[in-house]
Amino acid sequence: MDRRLSKPERSRKVRRGESFPLDLREGFPLNDSRLEPRSRSRRRESALILCLKSKQVRRLTSAATRFTGRAGVRARAALKGTRSARPCLQWIVLFGFFVVAVQSQPIPKLTSVSPEWIQRGTTSVVTLEGENLSEVTGFIFSGEGGLTATNAPPPAYSANLESSRGGIVPGEDDERKLRVSVTVAPEAQLGARELRAVTATGVSEPVIVNVDFLSQITEREPNNDTNHAQLVELPVAINGVIRESAESDFFRFKAQKAQRLIFDVYAFRSGSPLDSSLALLDADGKELVRSEDVNGLDSLIDFTVPHDGEYFLQIRDFRYQGAKDFKYRIVAGELPCLDGIFPLGGQRGKSVEVSLRGRNLDALSKMKLKVEPTAPMGQQEIRARTAKGYSNPVLFDVGGLAEFTETEPNNALTNANAVTLPVVINGRINGEKDVDQFKFKVEKDQTFIFEVEASRFGSPLDAVLYLTDAKGKVIQQNDDTVGADARIEQRFSEAGEYVIRIRDLLERNGEDFAYRLVVRPPKPDFTVSFFPDTPRLYRDSYTVVGVEVQRQAGFDGAVEARLENVPAGVTAEPLLVPPDSTVSPMIVLHASEVAPLGRHLIKLAASGVIDGQRVNHEGRPEANGRAVREAFLTVLDKPPFTLEPVTLSARTEQDQSTAVEVAVRRFEGFLGEIQVTAEGFSSGKEPLTRNVELKPVTVRATDGRATLNLKAKLDSETGTRLILFKGEAKAEGQTVVQYSRAIPLTVDPFPFTLANSLPRLAITALPPDRKSAASEAEFSVKANRRGWFTDDIRLKVEGVPEGIVINSTNITRGASEAAYRIVASDKAPAGKEVSLTIIGSADVNGRSYQFRAPPLKVTINAPASENGSDQAAEKTASAK
């Protein structure tokens, strides 16, 4: 058998450092140790050797001449080829390679992970997809630990090559995929974790991996009919994709008589567009049962095995559609399955007895739960556990108010349950035309919120709320304020007894129509988020973290925000968000020249005063507008350039411009172009450009400064905000972004604006002896005075042609409008359209302001003929 390369491959010439495809012929001995794939580290070493042998070594000459002492002697000796050259040369190249590589490495980005589920107590290989993944050196998992990860070796090649002199290794397909070996401890907590990739230059955004107790199987094509069904062993979790239209995936399994098997599909509930149709078939392919739309659009089969043997499981899209995002997950086996629990929550620090409904629960129908005083508030997942394993998760709410469970009958005013507010009422709409009613007493001028929590727990209840007086007269009703959950807020002008009533909109009912009705007074509060979740900061440089305050129930106090866990050498001044601020403020970070390099977990602490008490909240990090669990600051070595504001503060008015200047400082001979712009925020997270017009400026190698022109829009928000200069450049083939320290930009209101009452009008050019209203027209100019301005506004009209007469007028002190009258004579340019512009001016505090109203379009018509021949005669005369 011929083991040689083909002729084109034998004769090909390859440049150093070049990767190239190679066709491997059959016949290589697979047990030849020389053909083992090299490790990732070995490949990097080979690349470094190639770099040593290439012309790139010459670039280190100037760097070596800058070394001093023994290092300089050895460096220069290395480049001259003396006896000490080899170890010195390796040292120089390694040092230079490290510095350049670290500075030029791009930031890793993650877009997906596959598979998304991993089994507890095992080691699995997952594939990360994204960008810039070739230099990933570590991984971070959120949560309480129990998960670790390392770079996985590349898949085994069926054949390989080894070069005779080294330096030629198998090349990776691209930098968009990375194989990762994930080890999950046996005691690791079940549920979702965030996974991030780490390089020397930053931390990626997270992707979600889920820890499960079941064995995980990925569907393997072809499996599109019973003849090619994929064999699986129950219990198991099957992860697959319906990739094409009309595709079906088949799985084959063995089962024993009397087993109660659960097949639970997760697609719709996980955000997949798949509308599943799930079927069980016997060994002959005969359909035994089919399921659709049990949990939303997700299928669920509860099957008792009639006899020992093999069976088939088929899944497809109900509409026979398919695509790469039509993902599904099937939990299959003799497993416990929870249909629901009641009540849906409990009070922190108290015990609650929960009833369970489901299948394979081994007679477990009730369970007493103790909610610890330190249990986190809000929703969390709970599972039932039997000898067969864990059930599917259901949501359970931890609250801080007293709990009350409804007692039937309570369908009428006469038997309404009495409750004391504030309270959380647990109930079920369970019975034909069931209505639950609860009576309570309030004091005059008390305000309460009545909020149903049902659909957010997966309950099918579409609640309707009625607030009535003691006689049943409806005061207020509501449906679907938050999804399918109703909400009423009422201020009671009179003390007394009232009733709150709840039912299903369509009068449906059942054990699963559970709800929590939370009744509480409005509580002023706030939450805080910050972004990005992965800021990067160079030594001796600046960066920013944006902060957004969400105010609730009328909270109007100031909020203090500060970053915690920042390393020594990094400063982040605390931020005070004033009560009336609508702009997302920024925390400016600065790193000294000795700040420790690497990543650092950071948090944001926020505090405010509510009802005389200081309230503390932890800020929630966000990645691209999505809430995440953790945030990381990466400190990098000195950048190739920095920015320093020359203008220390800026001020302008609406519809006016101001110039700001920034100095550029370059390092290490960096001569690349730098694009400089300004950044900041408008209301909320709106960019600065929502209110300010600006164009980036390109700073060339010979320039040391940049001047930006900032023009506040006419409708710009007024007040003071922080802005920064942002510089962006290419260095070593990668994008480097730098920020300056912040400066204040103040936008003052323009004293007035003008607007015409009409956008256009028409008049007719007539001689003085022809009296007609057609030669006249009227319109007005209206002034919008801003703030304190009430003085006169002087007006003039620009663009008036010959033959048009328009009166002069002004808008007097305190007035808001001026009238104009236009008269056209026979000298006006008939048949044309002209633009008239009203210009207003006023003097304020020794400064003259001028505003141009939008142009008024005036159409000048020719006069109509007095008899049929007049116009023709005029044309003839004109021609002569």
Cα–Cα distance for residue pair 40/613, rounded to 1 Å? 57
Query: What CATH architecture is 527-633?
Result: Sandwich (2.60)
Cα–Cα distance for residue pair 18/355, rounded to 1 Å? 67
Cα–Cα distance for residue pair 111/129, rounded to 1 Å? 6
When pLDDT is averaged across residues 834-839 and rounded to a whole number, the result is 96
When pLDDT is averaged across residues 367-392 and rounded to a whole number, the result is 94
Q: What is the pLDDT of residues 643-680, one digit of tens each?
A: 999 999 999 988 889 999 999 999 988 999 999 999 99
**pLDDT confidence of residue 204:** 97
Which of 369-378, 524-533, 678-687 shows the lowest per-residue confidence on average (mean pLDDT)?
A: 678-687
| pLDDT over 70 (residue 91) | no
Q: 0.85 cut: is pTM over it?
A: no
Domain boundaries, the chain: 32-104, 109-212, 216-335, 338-399, 403-520, 527-633, 641-748, 752-861
Q: What is the pLDDT of residues 1-54, one digit of tens each?
A: 443 443 344 444 455 544 444 443 333 333 333 333 333 333 333 333 333 333
9, two tokens: 């491959």
When pLDDT is averaged across residues 230-245 and rounded to a whole number, the result is 97
Cα–Cα distance for residue pair 452/129, rounded to 1 Å? 41
| pLDDT over 80 (residue 244) | yes
When pLDDT is averaged across residues 366-392 and rounded to a whole number, the result is 94
| pLDDT over 70 (residue 84) | no
Region of 181 please: left (phi>0), alpha (psi -120 to 50) or beta: beta
**pLDDT confidence of residue 68:** 38
**pLDDT confidence of residue 69:** 40
Q: Can you identify the CATH homologous superfamily of domain 109-212?
A: Immunoglobulins (2.60.40.10)
**pLDDT confidence of residue 770:** 81
CATH number of 752-861, picked from 3.40.50.20, 2.40.40.20, 2.60.40.10, 3.20.20.70: 2.60.40.10
Domain 641-748: state its class: mainly beta
**pLDDT confidence of residue 36:** 34
Of the segments 4-18, 75-89, 593-607, which one has the largest average pLDDT value?
593-607
Cα–Cα distance for residue pair 326/268, rounded to 1 Å? 10
- Residue 767, classified by CB atoms within 10 Å of its CB into exposed (0-12), middle (13-18) or buried (19+), is exposed
Q: How confident is the model at residue 101 (pLDDT cuts 50, 70, 90)?
A: very low
122, two tokens: 């095992």
Q: What is the pLDDT of residues 387-445, one digit of tens each?
A: 999 999 999 999 999 999 999 999 999 999 999 999 999 999 999 999 999 999 999 99
**pLDDT confidence of residue 105:** 59
User: Considering the chain, what is the average pLDDT of its residues?
Assistant: 86
- Residue 233, classified by CB atoms within 10 Å of its CB into exposed (0-12), middle (13-18) or buried (19+), is exposed
| pLDDT over 80 (residue 92) | no
Report the percent of the chain where pLDDT is more than 70: 85
Cα–Cα distance for residue pair 520/500, rounded to 1 Å? 13
Mapping DSSP to helix (H, G, I), strand (E, B) and coil, where does residue 89 land?
A: helix
| pLDDT over 90 (residue 718) | no
Give me the count of residues in the chain.
Answer: 880
Comparing 857 with 19, the larger pLDDT belongs to 857
Cα–Cα distance for residue pair 639/539, rounded to 1 Å? 7
Give yes or no on whether 527-633 and 752-861 have one common fold: yes
**pLDDT confidence of residue 6:** 39
56 phi and psi angles, rounded to 5 deg: -60, -20
Query: What CATH architecture is 403-520?
Result: Sandwich (2.60)
Cα–Cα distance for residue pair 338/394, rounded to 1 Å? 7
Q: Looking at domain 216-335, does it have CATH number 3.40.50.300?
A: no
Report the percent of the chain where pLDDT is more than 90: 72
